[in-house]
Amino acid sequence: MSSAARELSYSLAINEALHQSMEGDGRVLLIGQGVKSPWYVGNTTKGLLERYGPRRVIDTPVSENAVTGAAVGAALTGMRPVVVHPRMDFMLYCFDPIINQAANWHYMSGGAAAVPVVFWGIVNRGGEQAAQHSQALHSMFCHVPGLKVVAPSCPVDAKGLMLAAIHDENPVVFMDERWLYNTTEPVPREPYRTPIGKGIVRRHGSDVTLVCYSGMVAPALQAASRAQERGISCLVLDLRTLKPLDADLLMKSVRRTGRAIVCDIGWKTGGWGAEIVATIVEAGVPLKSPPRRVALPDAPAGAARTLEAGYYPTADDLLDSIISVCRGEG
């Protein structure tokens, strides 16, 4: 670890990004449920209210549509709001201000108006959150022109992508993953921005490409290590940004191995994994075996831990797919 970095958790990396943005730019404000309670949003807002006050750290009633609409209005008047949704599921109440308004204003105004707002949605997979409190809805937002969608997998990118999202002139959906909050790694102290629209190769390999993002990167790396013991070399590609997609790095990575497994944290049918597969196939990338998706089954999440254990993809599931794809099985 260099002197310019120190061990930091994913949640505290987001916290540092918020602190540095608010300190450096008086237009940045945080609005949403639970922002005054460090526990409610996993320490990501720790110390913000005490330092910046209730005019810039605004704890709100449970009224997702109104709160999000207020954030969009603030962005149109020159502010840079970050609106947090502690459970992504309830962003469904906000489709009008996000999709009809924020995503379209720049286009409808002929470029005269910008909407620099961050829609921060937290996915609560596992922990017996059940069907209404654990959904990953990123593919819905990826479908909408005018929105950018980012999905960090580690503390360094959690900080860098939050800083980049706050300073972007466009509306950005920051897709967060509560399962990652306790992961740690060395994080630079100074402000920096992870480029939106650029993926990164987390592990180089020659036999199969694992395309992943957010909470599926860690299981993919675990599966890749275990596959190496069986003589299979895996390339692990972390997309980091879902929209705009780093198609160049995606194609380069899949061409290198000739095989692709897409690791999606959402449902399989109509999911982001299907978009990645379609992108690969449409580009005519020569493949040694059909591409495969590892994703959630087309069913709601169960509440019991025993049901969760069979519902969320694991490193074991990925390893099975790696072996199958490399053997040329369908």
Residue 154's nearest CA partner among 116, 125, 182, 193 is: 182
Q: Is 133 a catalytic residue?
A: yes
Which amino acid is it at 61? Answer: P
Residue 82's nearest CA partner among 129, 31, 17 is: 31
Sheet of strand 118-123: strand arrangement: 57-59, 28-32, 80-85, 118-123, 172-177, 148-150, 241-243
**At residue 16, what are phi and psi to the nearest 5 degrees?**
-65, -40
Residues 6+ apart with CB under 8 A from 89: 132, 133, 134, 135, 137
Q: Is 138 a catalytic residue?
A: no
For residue 316, how many other CB atoms are within 10 A of its CB? 12
Residue 120's nearest CA partner among 190, 24, 33, 23 is: 33
For strands 172-177 and 148-150, give the pairing: parallel
Residue with structure tokens 């987001």?
A: 14
Catalytic residue among 16, 19, 64, 85: 64
Catalytic residue among 16, 19, 85, 133: 133
Catalytic residues, by residue number, are 64, 133
